[in-house]
Amino acid sequence: MKLVIFGPPSAGKGTQAQKLSKKYGIPQVATGDLLREHVAKKTPIGIKVKSYLDSGRLGPDDLIVQMIGERVSKPDCINGYLLDGFPRTIGQAQELEKMTDIDLVLNIVVDFEALVERAVGRRICPKCAAVYHVKFNVPQAQGICDKCGSKLIQRDDDKEETVRRRLNVYKEQTAPLVEHYRKKGRLVDIDGSSGIDAVFAQMVKAIDGIKK
């Protein structure tokens, strides 16, 4: 079973992908994690894409496709996989179709302004990695981690200018993919405004529907 999960930044793709991976026993192939791994190891791909990532842009199609192709050819992907963050452009989708057939695309739909609020208000503990929010998950002492007492920080990725730029990139380059897969009859919209468990239940229902 080969799945793709779509959704704008901060829509909860990663969380849902992890849950789906565990339930169905298929690896989560997360583009962001793969890119960070390549950058950290200073591989040829990592060196080339670093400047793109630093400015919040997508990497070139040929490099991303090469990286994904290498990953899904590994033995743990023989029974399927869940692509998180790929494809992001029509060009990438066309290359993916040359490699394999996708069974289902799960498209998380969330209001963009709600995503901005969710991301911009996020605060992270640099020591223990606990996550808070200035509105939805407030620490007991303002700006201080409940668990270890460290001062909370806002990641550069969560600053409003960066968040809006990433959302605009998503809208311009990735949204056309929704129509691409909708026309193929492979796409299901998922209401991402509800809680984690409710979103997951929608996805499981859609996946189990195609397995029958």
164 a catalytic residue: no
88 a catalytic residue: yes
Active-site residue identified among 2, 88, 118, 123: 88
Task: Give 100: exposed, middle or buried? Use CB within 10 Å, 0-12, 13-18, 19+.
Answer: middle
Helix (H) or strand (E) holding 108: strand 104-109
Tokens 């992907």 locate to 77
Active-site residue identified among 41, 147, 155, 184: 155
Active-site residue identified among 13, 71, 118, 123: 13
- Structure tokens, 110: 């969330």
**Measured distance CA(208)–CA(212) in Å, rounded:** 7
What is the DSSP annotation of 120-166?
HTEEE-TTT--EEETTTB--SSTTB-TTT-PBPB--GGGSHHHHHHH
Active-site residue identified among 2, 71, 118, 166: 166
- Structure tokens, 78: 């023989």
155 a catalytic residue: yes
Give the pairing type, strands 2-6 and 104-109: parallel
CA proximity to 119, closest of 133, 99, 100, 140: 133
Which residues are known to be catalytic? 13, 88, 122, 155, 166
